[in-house]
Amino acid sequence: METLYLVLFLIGLVFAIVTLFVGDIFHLHFDASGGHLPFFSPTTIASFITVFGGLGYFLMKNTELSQFLIAVIAIAAALAASTGMFLLVVVPLQAANHSTAKSSKELIGGRAEVITSIVSTSRGEIIYEQGGTRLSAPAKSRHGETILQGEYVRVVEELGGTFVVEKL
């Protein structure tokens, strides 16, 4: 059992280190019956495995508790840790991603001000207000025309994080 705890801890640790350097490149989701189960994200699963393995190994090495009691304690702690990870990391990130996607679509047809001139086919930058907050974003001209700093534009569409605009 000691080996199992150690292996699970190391798997979780390696996952955390790889994720730190590689980021969310794999961006995995788990679906069941067409529904989304956000609790079963790679982040929460990895935190469960890491805490379960690490605490189980620690208790096996440093206490005289029975294997059953160690497993129960490790499972309870792992559930608490993965629930905390879900509530403090996964849920806020999902909300932010949903909000960003929604706000991009809401801006289409809206008015913005050019703060960095858009020259021909080059990108510039626009500033707009949404939800009481001033935001900036990259922008390019719809017809390849030059739009100078200070001019107002209408957002026509959004392509890969860049807004396509036209003069008002």
The answer to whether the CB of 111 falls within 8 A of the CB of 152 is yes
Q: Give the pTM.
A: 0.54
Residues 26-54 as b or e (16 or more Cβ within 10 Å = b) = eeeeeeeeeeeeeebbbbbbbbbbbbbbb
How confident is the prediction along the chain (168 residues), in pLDDT tens digits per residue?
999 999 999 999 998 888 777 765 555 444 444 445 567 777 788 899 999 999 999 999 999 999 999 999 999 999 999 988 888 887 777 766 555 544 677 788 999 999 999 998 899 999 988 777 788 889 999 998 999 999 999 999 988 889 999 998
Which pLDDT score is estimated for 145? 92
Tell me which CATH homologous superfamily contains domain 108-167. Nucleic acid-binding proteins (2.40.50.140)
Which pLDDT score is estimated for 161? 82
Domain ranges of the chain: 2-105, 108-167
Q: Are strands 162-167 and 133-141 parallel, antiparallel or unpaired?
A: parallel
The answer to whether the CB of 161 falls within 8 A of the CB of 135 is no
